[in-house]
Amino acid sequence: MKKISINPTDLSYILWNKVLENSAIKSEIYKKDFFSKIDSLENLRAQSDYNTGSISSTTSWLLYSLVIYFKPKKIIEIGSFIGKSTISMALGADNYADEDISEIYCCDMSNNIVLPKLAKTKIKQFNKINSLEMLKKLDGNFSFDLIHIDGRLGLEDFEIIKKNINKNTIFILDDFEGKEKGVINYINFLKSEMSLNNFYLLSYPIQTETKLKFSLLEKSHSAVLIPSNLIGFSNQ
């Protein structure tokens, strides 16, 4: 039987349009409040021991939109820094907080910044702890529904992750370009044979055409790994 394949560029177009159409129902007033909260986190840089880059406003809205669309209950984040990605996902989870309680578990190896409570979603921070230490603490406690990776992971990290995912677990890889850490993480994801039990499809970062369609002006280099069982086909 001939297999049907979807290339990452086509999947990217489909995914980001679907996800952003879903979050577009949010009013411009809410969007203004969302970005006001995210921008306020810049003040936390003064508390950092290691002051580095952070995500763009476009990536913030994409993370928010992805969480609204897929409704994960247990979110893992590697590399929280000043919390822009963490709070973006928490605000997304707030949209369905009445249905079920979501939790975010995040780590930052370099800093000890305590994030302000800007969302109802529970956030558990592991500061001054690397990804492997946090994953070992969480190993066997529950199933990870969404994993946002903004730090370089090794094969040992992925071996623990592999034991704690389910058939619907989604991966978001930040800095997916060139030889940046997102691409390295994808290579290690493949080396860990993560797809043996559950086949994953790669969606590239959002395309310029789609960004402009939804009035998103800044760049985003976030790629998404989606389990094949979440991909459906329909007649148009």
Please give the angle made by the CA atoms of 152, 153 and 159, to the nearest 5 degrees: 175
Closest by CA position to 122, among listed 94, 96, 145, 88: 94
* CA atoms of 100 and 48, how far apart (whole Å): 33
| Alpha carbon distance, N-terminus to C-terminus of the chain | 24
* CA atoms of 236 and 234, how far apart (whole Å): 6
CA torsion through residues 151, 155, 160, 161, sign: positive
Domains (range + CATH), the chain: 8-230 (3.40.50.150)
- Mean pLDDT, rounded, of the chain: 92
HSE-up of 164 (CA within 13 Å, CB side)? Answer: 23
Tokens found for residue 176: 């997916």
pLDDT tens, 35-47? Answer: 999 999 999 999 9
pLDDT tens, 136-160? Answer: 999 999 999 999 999 999 999 999 9
